[in-house]
Structure 1
Amino acid sequence: MSSALEAVQRQLIMALNAHLPLTAEISGIFDGAPPRAAFPYIALATGASLDWSHKSGIGRELSLALSIHDDGAAAARLHRLMALVEEALEPGLIDPEGWQLVTFDYRRSRIIRSATSAWNGLIEYRARVLRD
């Protein structure tokens, strides 16, 4: 059985890849920052897992972060990509193998850029799961 984080991340990637308006705009979705990907792309940031167990079962509360990278001159395309990610995940996720998804919630988003790097958008979600 895979870890809860791994199982939920797999479902997250499947949901994003199934959203054609998003996949038409990006070069790919990667597990971490790729060494030489074409802009724009999405990278999964390291997630966190907390205990969410109860008296008779094992549960996890997961923090999931998606980082969207774009080298545009302005943030307009990045805003559009972030909206497409939210649109793709709005219906939620299906239960990952070995786990029951109890909640899947949008938490926050932000855009950051330094003078020497590309635009970066961060979108965070929270998932709570119970082991089947």
Structure 2
Amino acid sequence: MSSALQAVQQSLVASLENHQPLVAEISGVFDGPPPRAVFPYIALTTGASLDWSHKTGVGRALTLGLTVHDTGSSAARLHRVMALVEEALADGIEEPQDWTIVTFRFRRTRIVRSATGPWFGIVEYRARCLQS
């Protein structure tokens, strides 16, 4: 049995990689910022896993973060890629092995940039799941 976070992240990545308009815009989806990656790309951020159990079952409430990394003089492409992420996940994700997803919801987005670095767009979701 895999952890809920690992299982749900795998389903999330599969949903992103199966969305052709998104795949056409990015160089890949990675576990973290890869060395020498071509911009734009998506990196999973460390998610939080909280207990969501009940009397008769094990459950987890997960925070799933995706960070879109991009360069450029404006955030136009970053906004487009972030919109495609939301589009790819609008109908939820496939049920992961050993877990049943009870809810999968968009939480928030945020864009940040340091004066000397690339743009970062964070797209965050919340999933609540029960062990099957």
The TM-score normalised by the length of structure 2 is: 0.99
Unaligned runs of 5+ in 1: none
The Cα shift of 1:35 comes to 1.3
Q: CA RMSD in A?
A: 0.5
2:69 is matched with: 69
2:19 is matched with: 19
**Could you give the per-residue CA deviations for residues 92-126 of structure 1, whole angstroms, max 9, x where no partner exists?**
01111000000000000010001010010000000
1-structure distance, mates of 2:51, 2:62: 9
2-structure distance, mates of 1:85, 1:130: 25
1-structure distance, mates of 2:84, 2:19: 8
The TM-score normalised by the length of structure 1 is: 0.99
The Cα shift of 1:14 comes to 0.3
1-structure distance, mates of 2:70, 2:83: 14
- For the pair 1:29 / 2:36, whether they are aligned, the reply is no
2:83 is matched with: 83
Query: What letter is aligned with 2:105?
Result: D
User: Secondary structure of the equivalent of 1:9?
Assistant: helix
**Could you give the per-residue CA deviations for residues 11-51 of structure 1, whole angstroms, max 9, x where no partner exists?**
00000000000000100000011111000000000001000
1-structure distance, mates of 2:90, 2:106: 8
User: Secondary structure of the equivalent of 1:26?
Assistant: coil
Query: What letter is aligned with 1:49?
Result: S
Runs of 4+ in 1 over 3 A off after TM superposition: none
The Cα shift of 1:72 comes to 1.5
Question: Percent identical across equivalent pairs?
Answer: 65
The Cα shift of 1:7 comes to 0.1
1:39 is matched with: 39
1:107 is matched with: 107
2:125 is matched with: 125
Q: What is the aligned residue count?
A: 132
